[in-house]
Amino acid sequence: MSTPDQLQPNAVRPQQPKNGLGTTGFVLGLLGLIFSFIPFIGVIAWPLVILGIVFAAVGIGRVRARKATNKGVAIAGLVLSVLGLGVAILWAAAFTKAVNDVTTEANRTVTVHYEVSGTAKGASVTYSTIGEGGSSTNQEKPGTLPWSKDLTTKGLIKGGTLTVTTGMDGGDVTCKVVVDGKEAKTATASGQFAIASCDGF
């Protein structure tokens, strides 16, 4: 007895669905979204999500052309890829802003005001600054107080120290550091060879 295939040798068999592209888009989109949340490693997400969008979109096109049957998977891949791309763009924007902020800070000129007051007559003042040109340390014995010094520094690394020693005659001293008009540090000491130190600003 003949089978149907033997009776109809030229019969066209149903075309198998081609779901590979949509599935690939889903996998790439999922991986890209996961990697997009990881700092630095997130750069891997860029090619993954872009390829995920392409493959998922082609997969959706195949579904519409009735060449594939995985519409849900293809759409999910497109959504995941777009979300991953959005996260990657946010990370890139944040990184760009951070670089710009560092560049601006590195080029900013800062005014540092050192000030010493008190009753000590033999006070010794040591002050330093740190900037892009390196560090410098200076010492002065003003004799009478108050004493002050204005300095400017430029560069990403800024700061310094202001130290006051009362000396043998004793007395009290107060050191104060003002950076760009804002008080950054203050300290007080009294007695013989007492030390007031303003640092860490």
**Rounded mean pLDDT of the chain?**
85
* pLDDT band, residue 167 (cuts 50/70/90): confident
**pTM of the entire structure?**
0.55
Q: Which two three-digit tokens encode residue 15? A: 């075309």
Nearest to 87 by CA among 32, 134, 150, 5: 32
Least confident window among 2-16, 29-43, 94-108, 147-161: 2-16
Q: Region 177-201: what's the mean pLDDT?
A: 89
pLDDT, tens digit, 9 for 90 and up, residues 109-154: 888 899 999 999 889 999 887 665 667 788 998 878 999 998 887 7
Can you tell me whether residue 17 is helix, strand or coil? coil
CB 170 within 8 A of CB 190: yes
pLDDT tops 60 at residue 4: no
Q: In this structure, what token pair is assigned to residue 152? A: 């400017």
CA distance 86 to 63: 26
Q: Please give the backbone phi and psi of residue 89, each rounded to the nearest 5 degrees, phi first.
A: -65, -40
Alpha carbon distances (Å) from 110 to 46, 99, 117, 156, 180: 39, 20, 23, 10, 6
The structural domains of the chain, ordered by start, are 16-105 (no CATH), 109-199 (2.60.40)
- pLDDT score recorded for residue 49: 95
When pLDDT is cut at 50, 70 and 90, the band that residue 156 belongs to is low
pLDDT higher than 90, residue 33:
yes
What is the rounded CA–CA span in Å between residue 26 and residue 106? 44
200: left (phi over 0), alpha (psi -120 to 50) or beta: left
**Above 80 in pLDDT, residue 10?**
no
Query: SS3 letters for 24-40?
Result: HHHHHHHHHHHHHCCCC
H helix runs in 37-70, sequence order? 45-64
pLDDT digits (tens, 9 = 90+) for 48-98: 999 999 999 999 999 999 999 999 999 999 999 999 999 999 999 998 898
Burial 28-57 (b: 16+ CB within 10 A, else e): bbbbbbbbbeeeeebebbbebbbbbbbbbb
Please check the confidence at residue 13 and state whether its pLDDT lies above 70.
Answer: no
Q: By percentage, how much of the chain surpasses pLDDT 70?
A: 87
